Amino acid sequence: MNPKSTLLFKYGGNAMTDPKLKFKILESICSLKKDGHNVVIVHGGGPFIKLALEEANIESEFIDGQRKTTPEAMEYVEMALKGKVNGSLVSIINAMGFKAVGLSGKDGKTVIAEKRMHQRIVNGKTEIADLGQVGDVVKVNPELIRLLLENDFIPVITCLASDEAGTDYNINGDMFAGHVAGAISAEHYVVLTDVDGLLLDKDDSDTIIREVGLSELIQLKEKGIIQGGMIPKIESCEIALNRGAGFARIINGTVPEQISELFANREVGTVIKK
């Protein structure tokens, strides 16, 4: 493996809410930085957004499982992601002796977004549902990220971005991470989740699929093997690989040892290849 390969970790979900686990995850990621790899962390923060909106007495409306983001809610989404979660991750990494820089997609126009037009079927007819300030990635400019990596920083990026007119959007963290991983040509895109990888039987960890090709994913979706919360994670891997990443891997972020073992010639998680 190239000693200066670039690794992008997608970190989020409940693995962020346990302080001890959070520290161990970041310690494991930073150990790879110590070994000479470039490291980028992209994160969401759903539990923190939920809490921030509850504390502000802003009721959340969900459309097909997606949170509608009003301008009022967007203010608290940004406070949670950029202020609380991003700031905490940066502080912990810096205290470990590394140099972390907190960003969102808005910084340096790194990610340009557009409003998501969500289609749904109502009474047999296709309708467009307005999700407010929920966006999709239009393009990624990797210049700032590369500049930081060249100067030995760890970019810690949260999934917010603006459109060309300056309107801010909240973007699905998995999709955001996949686009960034592709744009920076990350040799390894690593998705941290709460299971050991892609399982043939979601209730049996012994049925893990160790390696799968991009072309096989359609069949796995049709068979219902890729389902629920695994769907956006797999889609983000497809985006990453189709846009320039080398490999994608789904591992269990609640077992930080799996991060440390990524390059120890052991089978860890599910590898997705082109």
234-251: per-residue pLDDT in tens?
Answer: 999 999 999 999 999 999
Which pLDDT score, from 0 to 100, does residue 13 have?
78
Q: What distances in angstroms separate CA 208 from CA 182, 202, 222, 271, one per listed residue?
A: 25, 9, 18, 11
Q: What is the mean pLDDT of residues 208-225?
A: 88
Q: Do strands 247-252 and 270-273 pair parallel, antiparallel, or not at all (unpaired)?
A: antiparallel
pLDDT at 9 over 70: yes
In this structure, the number of other CB atoms found within 10 A of the CB of residue 62 comes to: 9
Rounded to whole angstroms, how far apart are CA atoms 242 and 246? 9
Q: Is the pLDDT of residue 50 over 60?
A: yes
Is the CB of residue 125 less than 8 Å from the CB of residue 8? no
Average pLDDT, the chain: 92
Does 1 have pLDDT greater than 60? no
Q: What is the mean pLDDT of residues 84-102?
A: 97
111-165 pLDDT tens trace? 999 999 888 888 888 888 899 999 999 999 999 999 999 999 999 999 999 999 9
Least confident range from 62-76, 83-97, 258-272: namely 258-272
The pLDDT of residue 3? 55
Q: Which fold has domain 6-273?
A: Carbamate kinase (3.40.1160)
Considering only residues 66 and 7, tell me which one the structure prediction assigns the higher pLDDT.
7
Please determine, for residue 213, whether its predicted confidence score (pLDDT) is greater than 60: yes
pTM: 0.94
Domain residue limits, the chain: 6-273
Segment 212-224 shows an average pLDDT of 88
The DSSP secondary-structure symbol of 58 reads: P
Average pLDDT over residues 200-206: 82
Reported in sequence order, the residue ranges of 21-64 that DSSP labels E, i.e. its strands, are: 38-43, 62-63
- DSSP character string of 206-219: GGB--EEEGGGHHH
Q: Could you report the per-residue pLDDT of 13-42, keeping only the tens digit for each? A: 777 889 999 999 999 999 999 999 999 999
